[in-house]
Structure 1
Amino acid sequence: MKAVVIEQFGGPEVLQYKEVPTPQPGHQEVLIKVEKTSVNYADIKNRTGKKAKGDFPIILGLDLVGTIDQLGEGVTDLTVGQRVIAFPKTGSYAEYAVASEQLTFPIPDEISLDVAAASPIVAFLSYKLLKDVGRIEAGETVLVHSAAGGVGTTAVQMAKLLGASHVFGTVGSREKFRVAYEAGADHVFTYDDFSDNILELTDGMGVDIILDSMSGKVSEASMSCLAEYGRLVHFGNSSSEVGHFKTNELHNSCRSVLGFSLGNTRKKRPELLKEAAEHVIPFLARGDLDIVIGAEFPLHEVAEAHRLIEQRQHTGKILLTV
């Protein structure tokens, strides 16, 4: 099969489009013929060695849409030919990928190919962050950092679906305001001035939930506009900076700082994603979530997709056609 592999860490130039052996499914696994996949910021970290280990060759890619081609031993709830989204274990920048039965989810025909390719990471993650980790309640307010990106635009919509009364967003430049507003954000700011503006708009109360994938100074500034009993959910480190919190910022105000990793959950507690799928897939089928797609590339041009994300020029999800 054709796949994109890396045999060393480095820039986009290390991505090689080449012929490799087709993987085979093991116990309670399926082989999926990949139709489309997406590029996530974690792929950049894996390519550069900031996240992945050096067990080369490596096929990148965290999610996919395709059809089941082969069942491994012990698979009981899936069938050959079924249309699915999945989080594969062998990497999705390839014509075929292997995924655990637990991390493979059938989807109805109502979900288009592009939406299905763009949605697994961003939709499942947004639901888990808000519903399970952030424990959102109807009428609460939410701040979504990086609100013009794939996760951000989806999280803004998910917050409204789950009952948020008001959703704020932050972006890296004013040119991205439009994308966040179109996703449903009520107010959008740059990272430079969000905290003071939110306090002014909330009469000094702050917001109930903050979704933070930035870290560093953005995380620190977030504490000043987090309401009493509020929850800051930290799920990424795209700034590559370290943020610091003081213990006296938490106990007296009953505020919480919480962490979540979808990647770690897929590896160690995959069963937790079943409940998310039961809600997310109907949202997608009904069109309740409008997954924002910023660009699409053929698989052999994946290096260009990586450059676009690294330069912070993209909005929404970046897709790869396999």
Structure 2
Amino acid sequence: MRAYGFKSNGGPEVLEEIQVPTPRPGPGQVLIEVAYAGVNFAEVQHRRGEFGEPDGPGGYDVPGLEVSGTVAALGSGVTGPVVGEQVAAYLPAFGGYAEFAVADADFVRPVGGLPLADAAGVPCVYPTAYGVLMDAGRLRAGETVLIHAAVGGVGSAAARIARAYGAARVFGTVGTGSKAQLAAGLGYDALFVRDEFEDAVREATVGRGVDLVLDPVGGPVRRAGLEVLAPFGRVVTYGDLGRHTDWTADVWDLWKNNRTLAGYNIGDVARRSPATIGEYLSTALSALASGALARVPPTVVSSSDVVEVHRRHEAGRTHGKTVLALAGHTAG
């Protein structure tokens, strides 16, 4: 089958079109004929070597954490979904940039009427957004939320979910002022330039601060997030887009100022609580299909343009969700 992978770590140019064996579903697995594959920053990290060197078939690794498509075959012990059903799936071991992908049945759910292009951007992004808000962040109705990397896939999903669960105000930060005009369309009260967000947050909250900060950036942004917390506020860290050197939080600072620093990693949840991923995936697909969550159509790009897509993601020149259209499907 046709796929897009890399044989050595490096820049976007290491991605190439390859031929690899079509996978077969094992016990508890589902084989999906892929229509669309979501693009995530973790796939940029995968390609760069932050998760190790490629060791897949023929020495190639195939990125791709989330897909949508049609069930082609079932492994033993799988009772649902059924062959021919349209589904979305999370792939914690990657493999989505291909004509076929295998997923554990725990991470596969029917799209429920949601267009396949939209559904491809759900399985990794939305369980992450729900997890950082509800599980790690302990969001409560009436609270104020600040979301870094606000116009990315997880950020824009989290803004809408926070509203749906009763957040009073939702702020975000962006890397450049040119993206601030996207605030209203994504459900934010305001977007602030990330390098200047501390004063802006204090002014917007009349000095009180925010109850919850969602931070995939790291480094100085993470440290500054602690400084803008309201009493009993929480910073949830779920990435390191800035590639900063790790730092150690001062427990006395947390204790004496009533602050909490929490973490969320979808890969760990998938290993130790797979049902949680499946439940959030079902919730998101249903809410998006019904309109309970506002649907923001993704940017659809041909899979043959995967190098340029990775280049744009790495440079921070995207907003919202981007999905790759596999053969026979429409790219916008």
Short-chain TM bin: over 0.9
2:209 matched residue in structure 1: 206
The residue aligned with 1:178 is 181
Question: What's the CA shift string for 1:273-304, capped at 9, x where partnerless?
Answer: 13323422221111233454563321122101
Describe the superposition over 1:18-49 as per-residue Cα deviations: whole angstroms up to 9, x where unpaired.
22110000010010000001111000110010
Partner of 2:39: 39
**SS of 1:118 mapped into structure 2:** coil
- 1:168 pairs with 149, 168, 171, which one? 171
For the 8 Å contact 2:233–2:259, the answer to whether it is kept is: yes
The runs of 5 or more residues in structure 1 that have no matched partner are none
Q: 2:309 — aligned with what?
A: 305
Which residue of 251, 260, 265 maps to 2:264? 260
Q: How many percent of aligned residue pairs carry the same amino acid?
A: 38
- 1:197 maps to 200
Match of 1:61 in 2: 64
Aligned pair in 2 of structure 1 residues 96, 59: CA closer, same or farther (>3 Å)? same
Q: Is the 8 A contact 1:167 1:185 kept in 2?
A: yes
Do the aligned residues in 2 keep the contact of 1:293 with 1:318 (CA within 8 Å)?
Answer: no
Q: 1:107 maps to which residue?
A: 111
Q: 3-state DSSP class of the match of 1:127? A: helix
* Residue of structure 1 equivalent to 2:299: 295
CA deviations over 1:155-184 (Å, ceiling 9, x no partner): 111110111000111000110012233101
Contact 1:44 1:306 in 2 (8 A): yes
Bigger CA drift: 91-100 or 248-257? 248-257
Q: Which amino acid aligns with 2:115?
A: S
- Taking the aligned partners of 2:169 and 2:247, their CA distance within structure 1 comes to 26
Matches within 5 A, 1:119-198: 119-198=122-201
Q: In 2, Cα distance between the equivalents of 1:79 and 1:294? A: 27
The TM-score normalised by the length of structure 2 is 0.93
Q: Aligned pairs, how many?
A: 321
**Contact persistence 1:294–1:316 (CA under 8 A):** yes
Counterpart Cα distance in 2 of 1:194 and 1:294: 27
Q: Which amino acid aligns with 1:217?
A: P
Moved more, 183-192 or 162-171: 183-192
Is 253-262 or 280-289 further displaced after alignment?
Answer: 280-289
Residue 59 of structure 1 aligns to a residue in which SS?
Answer: coil
Alpha-carbon separation, structure 2, partners of 1:249 and 1:147: 27
Separation of aligned partners in 2, 1:295 and 1:123: 17
In the other structure, the counterpart of 1:30 is: 30
Is 1:232 equivalent to 2:235 in the alignment?
A: yes
Task: From the superposition, tell whether residues 293 and 214 of structure 1 become closer, same or farther in structure 2 (CA, over 3 Å).
Answer: farther
CA distance in 2, matches of 1:118, 1:303: 19
DSSP 3-state at the match of 1:250: helix
Residue 9 (1) aligns with residue 9 (2): yes
- CA–CA distance in structure 1, aligned partners of residues 259 and 170 of structure 2: 19
Q: Distance in 2 between matches of 1:60 and 1:268?
A: 22
The alpha-carbon distance between structure 1 residues 95 and 39, as it changes in their structure 2 partners (threshold 3 A), is: same
How far is the alpha carbon of 1:203 from its aligned partner?
2.3
